[in-house]
Amino acid sequence: MEINSTPNFTIQYAASSNTKKTAMLVPKNDAFSDQLEITHLQNEANQLSFAYTDGKEFIREMEQLNAIPFLTEEALANKLLEQENALTLTPGTRLYLGADSGQDIFLTVGSNGISLSTGRTALGSAYVEEKNKLIREMLNVTDPNEVPDLSKLTKEDLETLKNMEEAFQQAVSQLGGSQQYEALNKIAESFGSLIRYANGQASFIPVEYNGAIKDGLEKAGIDTTQPFYVNGQKLMFNEYGILTKISV
């Protein structure tokens, strides 16, 4: 048995009747187990398999579990792209979601989350991260645990930040206002759940995200009236608008 660790779980690979090995999550402490209510993970049908966000780790574990030579991340991506009505959502993927009020909109998959942007302006969490990074650079703050002292910003620094904020507000306005911006931001948030669900890291998608996921997929060119693939997982929306997996 091979055992790997995560911050809150130990991952154990045990023999299975269907595959050579099956990945199981075992909580490191009872408190964390109770908090997440992960009893559904003990059911073999819901146990995790191949739940990796990093392409190279995914390929390495696929080789160990199945003895199949997935040579490169590019080869894996090309294989998934051969599927019709499909998306591959791995770190570095950039999706074009169309244009609103003349503004091109892009959704980018990162290692730690999903970011939203127009052609030149970061939006949502990406804007907050970019602004905080700029402030830290201005104040030469390198310790991630240190809270920057904003009173030390120079007049020139404040002017730069003001221009950045004005560009952000202009981009939001050109998208059609705050309501349209919030709808796009929800798509970005919901795609994090979509990726975890498709990869096997989550057993369900929060109900409030199904509509945003459907909207985002359609903007990305996916026909949601029929089955489609995300990261190789076959999915479909049922009659109630709930995203479900299809066994293949």
For residue range 49-101, list pLDDT tens digits in order: 444 445 555 555 555 554 444 334 555 555 555 678 999 888 888 899 888 76
- Say if pTM beats, i.e. exceeds, 0.75: no
Given a cut of 80, whether residue 37 has pLDDT beyond it is no
Q: What is the pLDDT of residues 173-224, one digit of tens each?
A: 878 788 888 888 899 999 999 999 998 888 889 999 999 999 999 999 999 9
Q: Where are the domains of the chain?
A: 87-248
For 217, residues 6+ apart whose C-beta sits below 8 A from its C-beta are: 87, 224, 228
CA 206 to chain centre: 14
Confidence band of 32 (pLDDT split at 50, 70, 90): very low
Residues 115 and 126: their CA atoms lie apart, in Å, by: 5
Tokens of 192: 């994090």
**Per-residue buried b or exposed e for 41-61, using 16+ beta carbons within 10 Å of the residue's own CB:** beeeeebbbbbbbebeebbeb
* DSSP SS3 for 10: strand
Query: By the 8 A CB rule, do 217 and 206 touch?
Result: no
Q: Say whether 54 sits in a helix, a strand or coil.
A: coil
pLDDT of 114-133, one tens digit each?
888 887 788 877 888 889 99
120 in Cβ contact with 112 (< 8 Å): no
pLDDT of residue 51: 45
Q: Is 137 exposed, middle or buried (0-12, 13-18, 19+ CB in 10 A)?
A: exposed
Residue 81 is predicted with a pLDDT of 54
